[in-house]
Structure 1
Amino acid sequence: MKKTILGLDLGTNSIGWALIEMEDDQPKHILGMGSRIVPLSKDDNDQFSKGQAITKNSDRTARRTTRKGYDRYQLRRAQLTQLLRDNGMLPEQMDEHLIDLWKLRSDAATEGHQLTLPQIGRVLYHINQKRGYKHAKSDDNGDSKQTKYVEAVNQRYADIQTKHQTIGQHFYQELLSSRVKGGKDYYYTYRIKDQVFPRAAYIAEFDQIMRIQKEFYPDVLTDELIDSLRNRIIFYQRPLKSCKHLVSLCEFEMRPYKTKEGKIVYSGPKCAPRTSPLAQYCAMWEVANNITLTNRNNERYEFTLEQRRQIVDFLCKNKELKVTHLQKILGISKKEGWYGGKAIGKGIKGNATLNQLREALDGKYDQWLEMPIQIDDKVNVETGEVVKMVSEEVEQTPLFRLWHAVYSLQNADELSKTLQDKFGITDKAVIDALCKIDFVKPGYANKSHKFIRRILPYLMDGYMYSEACEQVQIKHSNSMTREERDARQLSEHIELLPKNALRQPVIEKILNQMINLVNRLQQEYGQIDEARVELARELKQSREERDSAYKAINQNERRNKEITAKIEEIGIRPSRSRIHKYRMWEESRYQCFYCGKTIDLAQFLNGADVEIEHIIPRSILFDDSYSNKVCACRHCNQEKGNLTAMEYMESKPAVEFEAYKQRVAEAFEDKRISKTKRDHLLWRRADIPQDFIDRQLRQSQYIAVKAVEILQDGIRKVWTSGGSVTDFLRHQWGYDEILHTLNLPRYKQVEDLTEIVHYEHAGQEHNEERIKNWTKRIDHRHHAIDALTVALTRQSYIQRLNTLEASHDAMEKQVKEAGTQYNEKKSLLEKWVAEQPHFKVAEVTEKVDAILVSFRAGKRVTTPAKRAVYKGGKRTVVQTGLQVPRGALTEETVYGRLGDKFIVKYPLDHQSMKPENIVDPTIRAIVKQRIAEKGKDAFKEPLYSAEGMEIKSVRCYTSLSENSVVPVKYNTEEQPIGYAKKGNNHHIAIYQDKQGNYQEMVVSFWDAVERRHYGIPAVIMNPKDLWDKLLNTELPQTFLAKLPKDDWQFVLSMQENEMFVLGMEEDEFNYAIEAKDYNLLNKHLYRVQKLSSKFYCFRYHTETTVDDKYGEVKNEQWSFKIGKAFRASSFEALFRVFPHKVKIDIMGRITKA
């Protein structure tokens, strides 16, 4: 029976794939292999690997928020201008000196001082520019910096209130007191910039100004005008938009139904807020039921239901449950050696909602902290069964009502009134404390209140979460029975994930690329019968785990460097194995872990009478990890044989056994060994999980579950595979050396890049030429080889690895029947794996050599869009036909202009600040003198001008030209006053003029967007046709000047990550394309790495790095010589290699572009 199997190797920015055909469980054909690369910026890749939030979306949101704020300020300013003009209050000029403006503002708020109407208008204009800090609940996030900032803001207001001053009067007095004379003018050293006041201070100042000036202009400054100025313009604050439509439906309670158009949509209750008392109480029970304790003998503590209830009660009354608290509740001591894992070690968070409210109420209104849980018997409408369920009345309990008021009422005045009227809470301190609580920010749980009410009774009976779900006939995982799997309807086309469906752009990109690939493969080869997926470690880890792993890797690298130096000190050559040995020697305190005999380091490193010992023998457990190895003397290793460490030590006298357990306990408590190694050291054969490998394959992270769920939509059987299994099988089948073999001929062209390695095999000496510092990870095709190994992996292999001991006889029989001669050093498992069906190395090598690495195309310049708003909870489209740029139009820095030169302000210690570029000659001389005197420490101490003013920043000339910047900021007369540098280059187009000369056009992303804005293609391939269309249009001359001339002929264009075949003449290239000679095209395929004017850099398509480093040596010339890179600095150099632009589709197929 034939079937097709797809193997997938998913990484953060790559997909390796292999599609094979099997017949009667024997591999017949490799239908296709490939590597798909999704380029990520270095920042995105690093941030994801480090466990940091990808900041791209949040950064864009922050910048968009800033732009919106500025836009709204401009709207307020325009409305203020119009209102002042209508009432004869608009000032003719606004160029007052700093001190004069603050004097005017101070006088406006001084009793008996009359200002003219235009002067009042000028003061209002000034207040409108900065209207103070407005406190929001979200600012109370526990951040000490934020808290100190708010305290400082409020303290400034308290200080001026004590002095009976307004903001204007305060700043005017401070400026006067800091006045110094310099030459003919006066200067003011007081710095207003960072002196932030609360919004209330500005409103108070406004009210005082209006009260005083109204006495002189009662007919103009009417109550209606003052109200418009105060509440509708200057201090107008738009209410926050509702985000309820973004809250997810509860996956356990939502139900599908069809619309009139036949579209399936879902309806049901939404997920409950995470701070809901019911959600918090449910979480406490989940946590309490999940706590497990094991002792030094690996025995598990048996909790009673009453103890679980005591734990929940403690969590509801305290902010945190620590190990000491748990020990007290259970009545156990530290000496007994009970261990509860990392979660308890770090402390389990208590009921945040209840604890916050209790703290705010301060013991004065504790009746509002009650939430009695009433459990009723309900009849399940679908099954007719009687089930337990928490009564709906729980939402009317005092605690729930108080929480809901604080949660839903964001306005402090409204909440204060509600607390007094409906809850009888009148204490001002309590009200203020409750108003500061933000129950919205923590977000939402993954369950609705309705579902929580269904499972809570079972959680309270001591069931684990999964067991409680089973009690209410709910599956909390996506696992299926064979009947369910065979009965389900498969989709012909898997739908792409909607934008922001996962709220994680890195993972969203890679999963959508996976969907595109699977759809194309099924379109080409028909229905795929089975898929196996291996996910990169980073994709399987949570954000916290990635962060922890990143820190551990860095720490290990530093430690390994220290160990390397120590090994070299004793005259031994360091290696990866010896570094591991050294670490084992240290963690065992320089002795055999079993008998306690002192171990000589040199002997251990050289393998003399001391060995690395597998705690659980490899014949019993498939685990060759560091966690399953210890330092042991040869005598103990041989005597232990096929026993586990625990079984071996139990056979020893009681004194030795107790000493062993003590060594394990001390090593674990001192954090010299991990919990995993501790467990291995304490496992008897019966303790080893029978599904040890399966447990490693289970995907608990949402992303892993999502990947399987997506594939199950279009493929009947979907399995997951683990990295350790793939590595083992790949090595035993000989696939490890394929990429080295393919790359060696290129590297041999440079003598310094290879070396002769001597080794012994079967009693004979051998010499082999190897690439120095070789790793498969420098070649993108390693993803495809891994995917092939994954595709060849069978569930039966996993089963054998799970039950090595039980499978021993069957494996031995199969190996003997095969009759293959093996090295005696190979284990039975290694021999058995080598006999399993797989493709020959030569066949795989040929397929890998034909792989053309596929890169995801660069994003579009713009995308069509429409603008929608939500009115009354309904989405309403208010604007269509928009073109949205798909990147940054300009760089962030804003430049000024002085004559024909562009200038920018730098802090004195900025790395781009060059003294010779400083605009002011006097300041330039002062800065140069300081640098001459103190060198690198020039600006550690303040620098002052001749007038005594501190110099903190300087204006500098730049080398920017008119063509490289665009105006982005304008004054009230619509004249440009601020400029920004255009964004990165979008592409470079090369044309040929009438004389046959090549002409280059460097098109920035700004220019490309501008072209799309006017309905012109970003890349212009037919200049004459374009100019014919533009004859009757009225476009700006500045734009038309940036277009290619009408008599130019398009030759080619280059954009980052576009693919080119280099070094093949026209006839040879055409033949290779027609013949689909991928093995030949593979040698000449390059991608565009980076571009600038007459500087074109290409990188060989299989290369994963671009740093041209070989070990610790950086050498570009080596890269050019072995074909890893190509660079052209002229038209002649570029066309000498016959550049042919091509397209590589997602399946790695090539076509002319």
Structure 2
Amino acid sequence: MIRTLGIDIGISSIGWAVIEGKMENGNLESKKIIKSGVRIFRTAENPKDGKSLALPRREARSSRRRNARKKGRILQVKSYLSQILKIPLEEMLGGEKLSPMFQTSKDFVSPWELRSEALCRCLAPRELARVILHIAKRRGYDDITYGLDDKEGGKVIKAIQENQAMLVQKGYKTIGEMMYQSYYQKPREGVVGQMESVRNQDGDYKRCVGRSELREELEIILDTQKKLGNPYVNDDFKRMLLGDKSAIKKKEAEGLVFFQRPLKSFEDKIGKCQFFKNENRSCKDSPSAERFVALTKIINTLAYITNTCGILWEDKRAIISQILAKAMEKKSGVSYADLRKILNLPQTFAFKELDYSKDKAENAKFFELKSTHELLKANPNIPLQRQDKIAEILGEEKNWERIQAKLEKESFSAEEITRIKEANLKFSKHLNLSLKALYFLLPLMEEGKRYDEAVEILQKQGDLPIKKSEKSHLLPPLQELAKEDSYFDIANPVVNRALSEFRKIVNALIEQYGGFHFFNIELTRQVGRSFLERVKIKKEQESNKDLNLQALSLVKEYGLSENAKNILKLKLWILQGERCIYSGKKITKEHLRDEASLDIDHIFPLSRSLDDSQANKVLCLKSENAQKKNRTPYEYLGEDETKWQEFVARVFSTKFDRNKKGRLISKNFKDRNVGERAEFLARNLVDTGYISRVVSRYVEENLEFLPLEGRARRVRIVSGSLTTAMRAYWGISGKSREHHLHHAQDAIIISCINDGTIQKFSNYLKEKELSYKDLEYKVQQLNEAEYKTKLALRYPMGDFSKNILESISEIFVSHAPSHKVTGALHKETIYPREHFYQSFGGEEGVKKAIEFGKVREINGGLVENGEMVRVDVFKNKAKGGFYAVPIYTYDFAIGRLPNKAIVTGKNGNIIKDWLEMSDEYEFCFSLFKNDYVKIQAKGMQNPIIAIYTGTGVATASMNFYHHSGFEFASEDERKFFTDIDKKTQIPQFSRTNCGIQTLKVFQKVQVSPLGEIKECKPSKRQTIRLKTSPKNV
């Protein structure tokens, strides 16, 4: 028997199915479903904004380090000022309270005022110290990171330039004087009772100033104070604070106030070339890398034009050279209009990337060599390969001193280096190929060879190494492969999480079934897409769902049969503005009720395009469709310019998406002969996206397949459009996204797809079009018995729908538990103790809350807890009740294992004491989020399996969720999962606020990635294991 594994990979789910069948005439037939399942896991991103889950920790860590550096620098300045100005250091140092020197009073003079007065009178020691510290604490904006892109940098720079202009125009001596005279204690314009702010407010950049202006201000103040006879200000004082430009050491050169720690090199963060392991990847802004990207786009576009229109070029090298020459000639880049002119394309050809509803659509940029022109502008006489070296250095380093040192080492002249600095080029991204590899590839690609063709030629010549893959019984971790081959180095954490779970499933199935002959894999549209793209897809799905409901409502209102055809008819009617797409005539309710008056037509004829998707369907009058026949809209209406322009205007007035509008007005459609239709279908219904290619290579190059003669292609990456088409072709009802089991349904469909399936589907579409268009075809139709026999051959197995339902009804959905101890130790806001008096019952209650770990003491105040990462369950040995001890990230940080269980209620106004887990209680198990438990409450006949989702400290209860969210398997499940949506009264397959003390059965169980349930063996309570030493919090 031949075994196939079908897998549906999503960003938070994996559906899988194992089928077996026999090889007959080169195709897998007589299939049966062996097993199917679903794995659910958390998407590796913040669900609100799509940012990395590690981002809050990274930002908090960066903030702590930045604050520590600033604190250390200010302490150095204060220590020096204390020594020179004879001010006790204690006056300048503050603990939890403001230091004495900065406490306000009636006689307090603002530091802004002092910065202005410092230009005309001698300051007292404490006044001078306040001025210096006021500048030192906020030193202004400075782009010390050469070439580092900053999305808000433009706003900052604009504000700095405006303030510089204001400084000159109004004749102020310093920035401090300007801020004091212009904004300090000045009424806000247009707002009664409010004063101007000298500092920036949230989201405001108007008060941004450059570091150079503040440095100049402090220098002017110190020079003025020296002239006015201030006894403390001399050259040594000034040198210590502002630095000595002639000094060799950076700290001495910049001084105590303006010293800036140089950024580390980025060189060790750059990955290695996928061919040459000792070579760094090339900077994406280098001329060779830009040329490679441009060549890839040119070659792919030429291939698309040939495939669409049949146009061939005798000298492809000359054409490519001409396009590249145009890009070097035009700094703004090559437009689609330029490309049309160079290629001499017919006016009927339309570029698929463009939205022709916009004016002058072809003025859009095809590609540009932006960085190449920037490098040449700085140093036009440096050859392009030398420019590559400049780009490489700029991509590695962000500190100018190191950039300059590397450029000097490469023998660039002082004049050339100066021009590079002045150009302020911002390079940071990299390709996965080194310059060494690019120098081999570019000559062949300039001849018109595709990247893969060029690689194959170079590998045969021995110029590029051939990867020696060692296949194994199980899939290795992707991270291990990435160390050897950067092709598998995927930066997207969402994709990495999905592929990690994919590996777990595949390896578990191989261990259970011993391997597979074939892999059929589909990656949902969301995998590999950015967060914003996925949000857009979700909105489209929600919009389509709403449109379906609207169409269904109208179907009922107009008395039509509630079937898929009528719902689609009403959807198209709504989207087309209730008009025939070809004639523009009004489609009335009477038309909708009359089966003989309307047709759902294929934009590109089905027999010529083999596209039966909704993207290829419109609604029209039957009489109009009869005239259109087997033609495209342009073939039908294009000869009459007036009719065609009216049609185009009508298309753009519809609510169709951009792609469908483009299809309707397309002037270029290459017909396919019968022989190449199935091949075309197979090629276009296989997903060729980057992540799909990674998965294909991941499996093909690393996994041993079961032996099979004469079969080289073992992995097929199936596109979502083919799965959708097969679902309709095999008569499988549309999937519901309300539960998890639809992932397994898709996986079963995916597993049944092979070359024979595609051939049958191709023939089916052809016959469907003929029967739809040609009345004479009905005479040729098979007799009823032959037709039923032929219909049965369509399906992968007998009773296909029934077999699918039986298989998915046996699934126990596996949810990945979250056992990682990560997250913030506590909430950010620090409250005074009085804030919690009402909640806990005064000071006595607050003390108890601190003891129980309900709140934490930080910096003289109280903070709320961070995430509860674990709860330990105990049982009273004598009475049998269950108790929960919560453990937070804070407890892990300090290395202390809590031992008090939650108790609800109050004694008077004071919270009750929590229960110490003494020898009277026995430890049962620990629960993390998404762990499974066997649970039986009062009124239930038998225990059920539920997923633990959290513990409520206020109610001493737990929350649980049903594994599939599909249907209750027993009356006991129905009794336990009691949550109901208040609006719809629909069961939510969850249970919140479930008390655990009176449970009859409460045990932890383990569910494997394949959904196999095993009871957990009794274990000792785990202590808190720290990766680092306990934190002093």
Q: Is the CA contact 1:285–1:459 (under 8 Å) kept in the aligned structure 2?
A: yes
Distance 1:589 1:120 in 2: 75
Give matches, 1:944-983, under 5 Å: 962=850, 963-968=853-858, 970=859, 976=860, 979-983=862-866
TM-score, with length taken from structure 1? 0.66
Q: Does 1:1096 align with 2:958?
A: yes
**Higher mean Cα deviation, 312-321 or 1097-1106?**
1097-1106
Distance 1:16 1:293 in 2: 35
Q: Is the CA contact 1:210–1:221 (under 8 Å) kept in the aligned structure 2?
A: no
Other-structure match for 1:1049 = 922
Q: Is the CA contact 1:494–1:714 (under 8 Å) kept in the aligned structure 2?
A: yes
SS at match of 1:1056: coil
Q: Is the CA contact 1:781–1:1102 (under 8 Å) kept in the aligned structure 2?
A: yes
Pick aligned residue for 1:150 from 152, 157, 176: 157
Give a deviation string over 1:275-306, Cα, whole Å, max 9, x none: 10122233333333333599999645555655
Q: CA deviation at 1:1149?
A: 1.0
Other-structure match for 1:15 = 14
Q: Give the aligned residue type for 1:1102.
A: S
Q: Does 1:887 align with 2:853?
A: no
Q: CA deviation at 1:609?
A: 2.6
Q: Does 1:984 align with 2:920?
A: no
Distance 1:847 1:979 in 2: 54
Pick aligned residue for 1:241 from 264, 271, 290: 264
Distance 2:803 2:737 in 1: 21
Give a deviation string over 1:991-1038, Cα, whole Å, max 9, x none: 455874857445252344246x24x4x8999xxxxxxxxxxxxxxxxx
Distance 1:130 1:655 in 2: 67
Q: 1:1046 to 1:222 in 2, by over 3 A?
A: farther
Q: Does 1:35 align with 2:35?
A: no
Other-structure match for 2:1028 = none
Distance 2:988 2:340 in 1: 65
Distance 1:677 1:715 in 2: 46
CA RMSD of aligned residues (A): 5.3
Give a deviation string over 1:821-855, Cα, whole Å, max 9, x none: 7797x896x54312x44676555544433321111
Q: CA deviation at 1:617?
A: 6.3
Number of matched pairs: 900
Q: Is the CA contact 2:135–2:214 (under 8 Å) kept in the aligned structure 1?
A: yes
Gaps of 5+ in 1: 48-52, 181-185, 255-266, 362-367, 373-393, 738-774, 809-818, 862-885, 904-915, 918-957, 971-975, 1022-1039, 1070-1080, 1107-1113
Give a deviation string over 1:257-279, Cα, whole Å, max 9, x none: xxxxxxxxxx2322211110122
Q: 1:553 to 1:602 in 2, by over 3 A?
A: farther
Distance 2:830 2:596 in 1: 70
Q: Give the aligned residue type for 2:517.
A: D
SS at match of 1:630: strand
Q: 1:522 to 1:595 in 2, by over 3 A?
A: same
TM-score, with length taken from structure 2? 0.73
Q: Is the CA contact 1:621–1:802 (under 8 Å) kept in the aligned structure 2?
A: no
Q: 1:1140 to 1:997 in 2, by over 3 A?
A: closer
Q: Is the CA contact 1:622–1:801 (under 8 Å) kept in the aligned structure 2?
A: no
Distance 2:754 2:195 in 1: 80
Gaps of 5+ in 2: 92-98, 202-206, 244-250, 355-360, 483-488, 706-713, 769-781, 840-845, 902-912, 969-978, 1017-1033
Q: Is the CA contact 1:298–1:679 (under 8 Å) kept in the aligned structure 2?
A: no
Q: 1:1005 to 1:593 in 2, by over 3 A?
A: same
Q: CA deviation at 1:627?
A: 3.0
Q: 1:632 to 1:702 in 2, by over 3 A?
A: same
Give matches, 1:83-162, under 5 Å: 83=80, 89-93=87-91, 94-95=99-100, 96-97=102-103, 99-100=108-109, 102=111, 105-106=114-115, 109-110=118-119, 113=122, 115-116=124-125, 120-136=128-144, 146-157=153-164, 159-160=166-167
Q: Give the aligned residue type for 1:131.
A: R
Give a deviation string over 1:317-370, Cα, whole Å, max 9, x none: 23243344444555678xx33312215854323111134356x65xxxxxx335
Q: CA deviation at 1:492?
A: 2.7
Q: Does 1:274 align with 2:284?
A: yes
Give a deviation string over 1:128-183, Cα, whole Å, max 9, x none: 3222211256788595x642332213433554466454455555556875499xxx
Pick aligned residue for 2:794 from 833, 838, 842: 833
Give matches, 1:168-207, under 5 Å: 168-170=176-178, 178=186, 190-194=197-201, 195-207=207-219
Q: 1:159 to 1:591 in 2, by over 3 A?
A: closer
Distance 1:233 1:414 in 2: 22
Q: Give the aligned residue type for 1:700.
A: T
Q: Give the aligned residue type for 2:692.
A: A
Distance 1:786 1:778 in 2: 15
Q: CA deviation at 1:444?
A: 0.8
Other-structure match for 2:321 = 309
Q: Does 1:434 align with 2:434?
A: no
Q: 1:799 to 1:72 in 2, by over 3 A?
A: farther
SS at match of 1:153: helix
Distance 1:524 1:173 in 2: 79
Distance 1:176 1:629 in 2: 67
Distance 1:532 1:715 in 2: 15
Q: 1:1118 to 1:1141 in 2, by over 3 A?
A: farther
SS at match of 1:776: coil
Q: Does 1:284 align with 2:294?
A: yes
**Higher mean Cα deviation, 445-454 or 848-857?**
445-454
Q: Percent identity?
A: 20
Distance 1:1102 1:9 in 2: 17
Q: Does 1:1124 align with 2:989?
A: yes
Q: Is the CA contact 2:309–2:670 (under 8 Å) kept in the aligned structure 1?
A: no
Q: 1:1140 to 1:639 in 2, by over 3 A?
A: farther
Q: CA deviation at 1:406?
A: 6.1
Q: Is the CA contact 2:82–2:88 (under 8 Å) kept in the aligned structure 1?
A: yes
Pick aligned residue for 1:514 from 476, 498, 502: 502
Q: Does 1:1142 align with 2:1009?
A: no
Distance 1:555 1:140 in 2: 40
Pick aligned residue for 1:69 from 60, 66, 70: 66
Give a deviation string over 1:386-438, Cα, whole Å, max 9, x none: xxxxxxxx523xx557656766674568989989x96686999x778513x21
Give a deviation string over 1:20-74, Cα, whole Å, max 9, x none: 3445555676543221100338x74576xxxxx5443445433332222112222
Q: Is the CA contact 1:1119–1:1125 (under 8 Å) kept in the aligned structure 2?
A: no
Pick aligned residue for 1:1006 from 869, 889, 895: 889
Distance 1:18 1:297 in 2: 36
Q: Give the aligned residue type for 1:243.
A: F
Other-structure match for 1:857 = 817
SS at match of 1:511: helix
Q: Give the aligned residue type for 1:833.
A: R
Q: Is the CA contact 1:1001–1:1044 (under 8 Å) kept in the aligned structure 2?
A: no
Distance 2:479 2:19 in 1: 30
Q: 1:159 to 1:959 in 2, by over 3 A?
A: farther
SS at match of 1:778: coil
SS at match of 2:447: coil
Give a deviation string over 1:706-749, Cα, whole Å, max 9, x none: 22222221243322233344345556667649xxxxxxxxxxxx
Distance 1:591 1:524 in 2: 57
SS at match of 1:895: coil
Q: CA deviation at 1:798?
A: 2.3
SS at match of 1:248: coil
Q: Is the CA contact 1:108–1:209 (under 8 Å) kept in the aligned structure 2?
A: no
Q: Is the CA contact 1:645–1:683 (under 8 Å) kept in the aligned structure 2?
A: no
Distance 1:667 1:213 in 2: 77
Distance 2:15 2:982 in 1: 31
Q: Is the CA contact 1:987–1:1055 (under 8 Å) kept in the aligned structure 2?
A: yes
Distance 2:306 2:469 in 1: 48
Give matches, 1:324-473, under 5 Å: 324-329=337-342, 336-342=347-353, 345=362, 346-357=364-375, 368-369=379-380, 394-396=384-386, 399-400=387-388, 410=398, 434-435=423-424, 437-438=425-426, 440-441=427-428, 443-473=429-459
Pick aligned residue for 2:612 from 609, 612, 624: 624
Q: 1:902 to 1:598 in 2, by over 3 A?
A: closer
Q: Is the CA contact 2:981–2:988 (under 8 Å) kept in the aligned structure 1?
A: no
